[in-house]
Structure 1
Amino acid sequence: MDQKATPVLVTGGAGYIGSHAVLALKDAGWRVSVIDNLSTGFRFAVPDGVPFYEGDIEDAGLVARIFAEQGMDEGGGAIMHFAGSIVVPESVSDPLKYYHNNTAKSRALIESAVRAGVGHFIFSSTAATYGVPEVSPVSEDCPRAPINPYGWSKLMTEQMLADTAAAHAMNYCALRYFNVAGADPEGRSGQSTAGATHLIKVAVEAALGKRDHVSVFGTDYATPDGTGVRDYIHVSDLAAAHVLALEALIQAPGRSMTMNCGYGRGFSVLEVLDALDRLTNAPIERRFAERRAGDPDSLVSDPSRIRATLPWTPRFDDLETIIAHALAWERRLGEIRAGEGAEA
């Protein structure tokens, strides 16, 4: 059977990473549909021609109907699960929201999948499952020791998937993301959430006058320039990894996987801001602030496992390219917002 005949439901497919996964699947000829409650996603992010269901993954009746309509209740089908909450400080102030949205709702979705006989499940996990690792680069075998409810909510879902796969005819892949950034090179999607906290998103907003400065949290880290070092991965490369992971799950139904998604190379906060300044030739204001609790000095992935497991060759492993795509999307987002205002 042609793998691409497998129907794929993308949860959170109107969000940042989910919408890029939808584009990657659609571009490659897969049968893809989307469920999103639009609490943080955007309807415009779902391409024309992709079946869209506005609703919640916790709604078992709706999910069962989607499975039936998309042909996923016949012992096949796959889920790419992106729906959830992702703001780490909010998870500390409102932990029950995160255990509901990320853990309880994932449990409901997994139960629906098992009931329908969905065979494959790809989960959007996070490097936050490692907490503050004692080593860098970080491999999948490093201890999982989350330091916030966000990380715990994701790790609990990984455990549920492992236990479910051991008991039922379903395999899974948990992909632990490092710092996702950039936007679709063709300008079809990007990070659109207001009030985002990701450095590159914040920086390009400042470059376009949407913020008056960028805060640099901490200058006394054990790094070459004293600011935190992170492994930035282009969102389109990440989406491509999901498609390859799906192919691997279909090829080996009895095998499940957990893999880091990063490039294995880090950049400091100041290096990111310097790269943006070079692109725009208009330096943005930097305000130095105290370091945030729980921020590690350096968080860089060891991507050896994903490189050995999947035929994954990143296309956009370049910091200035990542920033340039994010900047182009931020400009495009301004046009979209202006158009929405005109339509209203």
Structure 2
Amino acid sequence: MKHGAILITGGAGYIGSHVALQLRARAERVVVLDDLSRGFRQAVLDVPLVVGNVGDRDTVRAALDAHGVDTVMHFAACTVVPESVGDPLKYYLNNTCATRSLLQCCLEGEVRHFVFSSTAAVYGIPAAGVAAEDTPTSPINPYGSSKLMSEWMLAAVAEASPLRYVSLRYFNVAGSDSGGRIGQATPNATLLIKVACEAAVGKRAEVAIFGTDYPTPDGTGVRDYIHVEDLAAAHLDALQYLRAGGGSTTLNVGYGHGYSVRQVLASVERVSGKPLKVREEPRRPGDPPALVARAERIRRELRWKPRLDDLDTIVRTGLAWEERLLRNPW
């Protein structure tokens, strides 16, 4: 059966661009929709780019029709937890309302498959800091709530239509393309490994630890860090699963073990060979003490096989990317 094109919303951003790169390597027909508010033209490489907002129905419908799209991978969103606490309506507009508009376009355009970029933030603060797919959802910040509402809409649409979906709940994404072609270039980034790597190459004077009194082994927050290439591969596995007739499902994407903030900073110092200046700050609102995936289901259902489950490897690719940005800024 001949497959249609794949529309990647937010495909000029950090994760979406890595997914586009892997899809192109498999000779898939791909088109990116991005308003470039946080993404970069350089990240799209040779993929056709439609500059526009995912909440603009006319733009989305035109892209679906012009390119013969039968699959949508939806990444476009605001993703900064502290910002969501301070400006919640921005998150409900850009994440939830825009997803509603996109789903309407998908129904009108008879899109068959939908892969959704969700988040472990839907779990809030799970018992023992570990979340499985059946762990009760109880987000503690508007970012998590905005994504959970989108999951609910997607599930309802799938019940009422032929559209089938895979919703992937990401844990903490880090690292960059091993070939050094693309990576995260967001100014004023908040992801810990990127921030620490920026400090290691001299782009930041110091790194802040937000919270040193959590009930964790060293008092700092613990997260399940996953390499962006392994995360991207999960999207390709989701696509293959849907094309093979798989039913709608929601899956965690993580390695199943975590590292503390201090362990991450030690890795950056080890890989870079440079000490980091560290500043200790109070906890940030909306941050759980620990959040680690139970991720057996994705390995079983999608046959996902991560290749880069090593903290120093994640840091090494992230550091190489920061060094490249120093030479050739985006």
TM-score category, normalised to shorter length: over 0.9
| Alignment partner, residue 302 of structure 2 | 310
Match of 2:180, SS? coil
Given the alignment of the two structures, is residue 31 of structure 1 paired with residue 29 of structure 2, yes or no?
yes
Match of 1:172, SS? strand
**Separation in structure 1 between the aligned mates of residue 220 and residue 299 of structure 2, nearest angstrom:** 29
Q: Which of 184, 190, 195 is the equivalent residue of 1:191?
A: 184
Match of 1:300, SS? strand
| Alignment partner, residue 160 of structure 1 | 153
Q: How many residues align?
A: 330
TM-score after normalising by structure 1: 0.94
Runs of 4+ in 1 over 4 A off after TM superposition: none
| Alignment partner, residue 10 of structure 1 | 8
Mark the runs of 5 or more structure 1 residues left unpaired by the alignment. none
Match of 2:131, SS? coil
| Alignment partner, residue 243 of structure 1 | 236
Given the alignment of the two structures, is residue 262 of structure 1 paired with residue 259 of structure 2, yes or no?
no
TM-score after normalising by structure 2: 0.98
**Separation in structure 2 between the aligned mates of residue 101 and residue 248 of structure 1, nearest angstrom:** 28
User: AA paired with 2:120?
Assistant: A
Q: Which of 116, 130, 145 is the equivalent residue of 1:137?
A: 130
- The Cα of 1:284 is off from its aligned counterpart by 0.6
Alpha carbon RMSD of aligned pairs, Å? 1.1
**Separation in structure 2 between the aligned mates of residue 101 and residue 93 of structure 1, nearest angstrom:** 15
Match of 1:221, SS? coil
Q: Which of 38, 41, 50 is the equivalent residue of 2:39?
A: 41
**Separation in structure 1 between the aligned mates of residue 287 and residue 39 of structure 2, nearest angstrom:** 27
User: AA paired with 2:60?
Assistant: V
- The Cα of 1:95 is off from its aligned counterpart by 1.0
Match of 1:176, SS? strand
The answer on whether the counterparts of 2:82 and 2:284 sit within 8 Å (CA) in structure 1 is no
**Separation in structure 2 between the aligned mates of residue 65 and residue 336 of structure 1, nearest angstrom:** 34
Match of 1:129, SS? helix
Q: Which of 91, 94, 97 is the equivalent residue of 1:104?
A: 97
**Separation in structure 2 between the aligned mates of residue 126 and residue 268 of structure 1, nearest angstrom:** 19
- The Cα of 1:91 is off from its aligned counterpart by 1.0
- The Cα of 1:315 is off from its aligned counterpart by 1.0
Given the alignment of the two structures, is residue 117 of structure 1 paired with residue 114 of structure 2, yes or no?
no
- The Cα of 1:336 is off from its aligned counterpart by 2.5
**Separation in structure 1 between the aligned mates of residue 111 and residue 292 of structure 2, nearest angstrom:** 34
- The Cα of 1:93 is off from its aligned counterpart by 1.2
**Separation in structure 1 between the aligned mates of residue 120 and residue 224 of structure 2, nearest angstrom:** 10
- The Cα of 1:137 is off from its aligned counterpart by 2.3
**Separation in structure 2 between the aligned mates of residue 26 and residue 171 of structure 1, nearest angstrom:** 23
**Separation in structure 2 between the aligned mates of residue 258 and residue 308 of structure 1, nearest angstrom:** 13
- The Cα of 1:227 is off from its aligned counterpart by 1.2
**Separation in structure 2 between the aligned mates of residue 200 and residue 301 of structure 1, nearest angstrom:** 18
| Alignment partner, residue 213 of structure 2 | 220
**Separation in structure 2 between the aligned mates of residue 220 and residue 57 of structure 1, nearest angstrom:** 40
User: AA paired with 1:135?
Assistant: A
The answer on whether the counterparts of 1:184 and 1:235 sit within 8 Å (CA) in structure 2 is yes
| Alignment partner, residue 325 of structure 2 | 333
**Separation in structure 1 between the aligned mates of residue 85 and residue 212 of structure 2, nearest angstrom:** 24
Greater CA deviation, 211-220 or 14-23?
211-220
- The Cα of 1:154 is off from its aligned counterpart by 0.3
Partner deviation per Cα, 1:175-222 (whole Å, 9 max, x = no partner)? 000000000000111111000111101100100111111111122222
Q: Which of 117, 126, 141 is the equivalent residue of 1:148?
A: 141
- The Cα of 1:11 is off from its aligned counterpart by 0.2
Within 5 Å, give how 1:60-71 maps onto structure 2. Answer: 60-71=57-68
Greater CA deviation, 61-70 or 237-246?
61-70
**Separation in structure 1 between the aligned mates of residue 192 and residue 259 of structure 2, nearest angstrom:** 12
Q: Which of 51, 54, 58 is the equivalent residue of 1:57?
A: 54
Q: Which of 260, 269, 276 is the equivalent residue of 1:284?
A: 276
Partner deviation per Cα, 1:132-157 (whole Å, 9 max, x = no partner)? 11233210111100111111100000
**Separation in structure 1 between the aligned mates of residue 195 and residue 178 of structure 2, nearest angstrom:** 19
**Separation in structure 1 between the aligned mates of residue 286 and residue 91 of structure 2, nearest angstrom:** 18
User: AA paired with 2:85?
Assistant: V
- The Cα of 1:294 is off from its aligned counterpart by 3.2
- The Cα of 1:243 is off from its aligned counterpart by 0.6
**Separation in structure 2 between the aligned mates of residue 64 and residue 276 of structure 1, nearest angstrom:** 44
Greater CA deviation, 139-148 or 128-137?
128-137
User: AA paired with 2:202?
Assistant: G
| Alignment partner, residue 173 of structure 1 | 166
